[in-house]
Amino acid sequence: MTPSPQTRPRLGASACLLGEPVRYNGGHSRCRFLTLGPLAGMVEWVAVCPEMELGLGAPRRPVRLLSDGRLVDRDGDTDHSAALAETARRVLPSFEDLDGFVLKSRSPSCGLFGVPRYSAGLPGERTDGQPVDRRGRGAFAEALTAAHPHLPVEEEGRLNDPVLREHFVERVFAHARLRELLSGPWRPRDLVDFHSRHKLQVLAHDPRLYRELGRVVARAGTADRRALAEEYRRLFTEALAVRPTRGRQVNALQHVLGPFGHRLSPERRHGLAGAIEDFQAGRAPMSVPVALLLHDARAENVHYLADQTLLEPFPAALPLRHHL
Ligand code: SF4
């Protein structure tokens, strides 16, 4: 079974980011990129508010994260940690078929990085009511990332960075294609096909895991099917989690040009090589050499290259590769 080009990721999100009025003050924190941009219609959303799942309602008394990881009322008279752990045990198994998760920044429940932590009364901690540090991870985010270590997870504040945004969306769509493949009646040759389409994309992320994945796929047809799928899934998601460097992206683009460059006129070949060089030097975004390579690979009927997910890792309508 070959994954369809219209693969629709299932993306979890902190419910307030999707505009649901679940914040402690009864409001929301709608994220324009998630709800108003082209991505909005390309994914299936799964909205979750862990504090509503706790039964706290909205509006409610705000909670805070303590330095020992507990989640308490701002006044410290109610400890929600055990209830949150119970909620996580109930909710997290149903996230098995998600392709990613976007969390609300700085929230004591949902924040992924840099959440303020307050004194838990430990020796040496400040007692003036100010945070002891800003290095915490929200209680729900902690449980989510522990339960699903290979799931692409990001917080909405970091999605304002075009590089992080592109990387996250790329991982989500790759995760969805693999999930779609492995959840169906796949045959060994389907996994080989999948890998053939993704190999240059993987190469741009992590050359070592690219080689390891090649060795895994070489055992398709002889190795235990289930174990093979699990190993491939783990290594593939690990590889895509590595942020690609410009040098590796250039190397992968040159792998595209190499096999069919000789079919092109010298001017055309020179133009493609120049576009890759401009990208390498930071004078052009990746979308420029990618558009040219894709056009020429299709015009020359080099399907193996035209189908590379390196060139189209997510739907072309998502304008995520235009940054320098
Ligand atoms: S708990 Fe999470 S989803 Fe709920 S309001 Fe706070 S940040 Fe948003």
Q: What crossing angle do the helices spanning 246-261 and 287-299 adopt, rounded to 10°?
A: 20
Both 149 and 258 in a single domain?
Answer: no
Quote the domain boundaries for residue 51: 10-160
Residues paired with 79 in a beta bridge: 72
pLDDT for 74 = 87
What is the rounded average pLDDT of the residues 111-138?
94
Tell whether ligand 1 has an atom less than 6 A from the beta carbon of residue 87.
no
Q: How many helices (H) and strands (E) does the chain have?
A: 12, 8
Last residue of a domain, one of 141, 160, 179: 160
pTM confidence score: 0.95
Last residue of a domain, one of 160, 195, 230: 160
Both 256 and 120 in a single domain?
Answer: no
Identify residue 142 by its one-letter amino acid code.
E
Report the DSSP pairing between strands 133-136 and 115-118: antiparallel
Report the DSSP pairing between strands 115-118 and 153-155: unpaired
Identify residue 159 by its one-letter amino acid code.
L
Asked if 199 contacts 214 with a C-beta cutoff of 8 angstroms, the reply is: yes
Both 143 and 46 in a single domain?
Answer: yes
Asked if residue 201 belongs to a domain, the reply is no
Q: Is the peptide bond before 59 cis (omega within 30 degrees of 0)?
A: yes
Asked if residue 191 belongs to a domain, the reply is no
Asked if residue 220 belongs to a domain, the reply is no
Atom of ligand 1 minimally distant from the CA of 17: 8
Asked if residue 149 belongs to a domain, the reply is yes
pLDDT tens digits along 232-265: 999 999 999 999 999 999 999 999 998 888 889 9
Examine the pLDDT at 280 and tell me if it is beyond 90: yes
Asked if residue 102 belongs to a domain, the reply is yes
Tell whether ligand 1 has an atom less than 6 A from the beta carbon of residue 104.
yes
Tell whether ligand 1 has an atom less than 6 A from the beta carbon of residue 22.
yes
Q: How many domains does the chain have?
A: 2
Identify residue 47 by its one-letter amino acid code.
A
Atom of ligand 1 minimally distant from the CA of 50: 1
Residue 230 vs residues 93, 197, 226, 283, 287: alpha-carbon distances, Å: 17, 19, 6, 40, 33
Residue nearest to atom 5 of ligand 1 (CA): 23
Both 29 and 149 in a single domain?
Answer: yes
Give residues with Cβ within 8 angstroms of 16, minimum separation 6: 22, 23, 27, 28, 29, 30, 49, 104
Asked if residue 206 belongs to a domain, the reply is no
Asked if 204 contacts 248 with a C-beta cutoff of 8 angstroms, the reply is: yes
- How high does pLDDT run on average in the chain? 94
Tell whether ligand 1 has an atom less than 6 A from the beta carbon of residue 182.
no
Both 41 and 151 in a single domain?
Answer: yes
Asked if residue 298 belongs to a domain, the reply is yes
pLDDT tens digits along 140-194: 999 999 999 999 999 999 999 999 999 999 999 999 999 999 999 999 999 999 9
Asked if residue 194 belongs to a domain, the reply is no
CA of 54 to the centre of ligand 1 (A): 11
Q: DSSP of 55-121, one letter per residue?
A: T--SS---EEEETTS-EEETTS--B-HHHHHHHHHHHGGGGGG-SEEEE-TT-TTT--S-EEEE--S
Both 20 and 150 in a single domain?
Answer: yes
Both 121 and 18 in a single domain?
Answer: yes
